[in-house]
Structure 1
């Protein structure tokens, strides 16, 4: 039996006035400045809303660091989305505290995944929540949003059985893409990242070539191992403007390059010298999309199924746990040594226990 709420979360949600609640939030108050704020919000629920208490949330290291740095080309998705003060985060597992009168699929005590910023208490539309099976831990469930993004990327490539594929960038998304690719029946996977620590997190399995180098240096080795045929598909998951041109050099004529990393400075990005002459396709995909009949609830369910079947494994990818009150230190670690970390989680159940 789970302990009572007041033992798991310290003080039960503090009520300052009728239907008001106080919540600790993580905020980027300006470029390169992380703060902890306390905000009061109206806790009255609409008919199809749920009130939640955070259990754990995960930093999306690529996206959130880009939001923190605040360096964007004008007219991009980034420049219109990130306005300071900015509330980061979109990967949260929480406990349901109350449900609106029209909510039928959740009840008090359920654990749900929500695309919520890093905050202690919050309201959400029930239709946007995903119920976690009892066998799935919060540390596993918190990957659901990234699991959908990467599933979209793999679907966008429209792979054929036996193709040879490269993955450039082995951060959070690259690790999940590599696992999906292994399930999809590709012949060989070239997993590429200059950070040895990231490469070592990729499973050492037959058909997976782990390459601790940048994409430009990988060209000669891939050419040798494929006998000059090169790759059918390459995933650029870095968001780095210099990588696209390197990726287009790694695919064969009529090959495909899937952009799953969205650069914030496309003015610095080049396609490469042989895109037209080799008839290379460059395919973009955004996390908010549905693709060919696959919608977000279906993709979340598939990921949970793979977890329950032990066909995917995210447990080894969690490298750090922080209290939300340590958020400035957590982001500072990532800014200065991002390759030393993978899954970085905030444990919201620690609040009230630090003293």
Structure 2
């Protein structure tokens, strides 16, 4: 059978095009009918605008027949790498990689899922698709359908905190409260951080203050910012900075607020010019700067690494089901899936206020 799904065919232009779905579900796979999907404003707005990105990102979405994300986060064999030269647009492209759906058919050999189960999948904006069993992560009872699509993006913050050597009770600052940074802040709070959230957008600060009443939420450009930060966290300062904004200023800010021998973990994708990153503070504080992406996206049963993307998603969904992590705080707007073009246009026009946009396929 064939179903229509949206493709970006040119900058700021969608078209719906058919894709073939097998008549029968293959062994080891499940068929999923999408309930709601999330627009990831960083990557997907770049696809929508036609902005340069690392070539492998464009290539992954240019495979328009692939319904699920493949190969993301898999550690490559050792090699001497070239510079990450950006690639221009490669239209048409698929988009989307965060959704919750309902299992409507189960292939032979599937043991952990049944028809009617709600599942999270790293899959494209598409009404129905097939995925391997391990790619469909069961959503626990008590987790609202509208909260489930937000379970993946905060795993970037979870992975960053692990990279930064986080343990409960440390002082953590998150710089930038877009969807990635806000998710990192929610996770840090849920697992025991003393938290500061730094953001220049008033709307984003208000959202964080409402969701994280115990956190210190500040505009780092305002007078008195340093005094407020020091008053809350003295005498030790910030142990771990999660940097989720773009440009030299957030990196410089992170280095300034770190305590001696502190760690700054960069989630944001930066251009080559990152300013005076190796400033006097870097040496005097003996600071560490760490890069991060995410845990490998692979079958947890293979046990090739201690943490996998799927296992991290399961962990965050469990935290939500126990009332410790409030994923729904990232949800700001919902559009019918048929109006995906309107949703992207509105998000593009009001990016700082509309960070968590869902498409409803029901």
> Do the aligned residues in 2 keep the contact of 1:234 with 1:256 (CA within 8 Å)?
yes
Measured in 1, the distance between the counterparts of 2:282 and 2:223 equals 16
Deviation digits for residues 235-273 of structure 1 (CA, Å, limit 9, x no counterpart): 11124454223322221231111111223x234565252
> Aligned with 1:234: secondary structure?
strand
Aligned pairs (5 A) from 1:145-224:
145-186=152-193, 188-203=194-209, 207-214=214-221, 218-219=225-226, 221-223=228-230
Alignment CA distance shift 1:275-1:79 (3 Å):
farther
Measured in 1, the distance between the counterparts of 2:245 and 2:222 equals 11
Alignment CA distance shift 1:230-1:169 (3 Å):
same
Asked if 1:142 is matched to 2:166, the reply is no
Alignment CA distance shift 1:324-1:315 (3 Å):
same
Alignment CA distance shift 1:70-1:270 (3 Å):
farther
Structure 1 gap ranges (5+): 1-19, 350-355
What residue number does 1:7 align with?
none
Alignment CA distance shift 1:192-1:216 (3 Å):
farther
* 1:314 corresponds to which of 315, 327, 333: 327
Structure 2 gap ranges (5+): 62-89, 298-303
What residue number does 1:125 align with?
132
> Aligned with 2:282: secondary structure?
coil
Measured in 2, the distance between the counterparts of 1:314 and 1:325 equals 25
Measured in 1, the distance between the counterparts of 2:141 and 2:190 equals 24
Instruction: Identify which range, 242-251 or 222-231, moves more after superposition.
Output: 222-231
> Aligned with 2:347: secondary structure?
helix
Measured in 1, the distance between the counterparts of 2:163 and 2:98 equals 23
Alignment CA distance shift 1:136-1:225 (3 Å):
closer
What residue number does 2:28 align with?
48
Measured in 2, the distance between the counterparts of 1:258 and 1:63 equals 19
The CA deviation at 1:176 is 2.1
The CA deviation at 1:76 is 6.2
Measured in 1, the distance between the counterparts of 2:12 and 2:198 equals 32
Alignment CA distance shift 1:207-1:111 (3 Å):
closer
> Do the aligned residues in 1 keep the contact of 2:158 with 2:188 (CA within 8 Å)?
no
The CA deviation at 1:309 is 1.3
Asked if 1:324 is matched to 2:337, the reply is yes
Asked if 1:21 is matched to 2:28, the reply is no
Question: Number of aligned pairs?
Answer: 325
Query: What is the alpha-carbon root mean square deviation over aligned residues?
Result: 2.7
Instruction: Provide TM-score, normalisation by structure 1.
Output: 0.82
> Do the aligned residues in 2 keep the contact of 1:54 with 1:121 (CA within 8 Å)?
yes
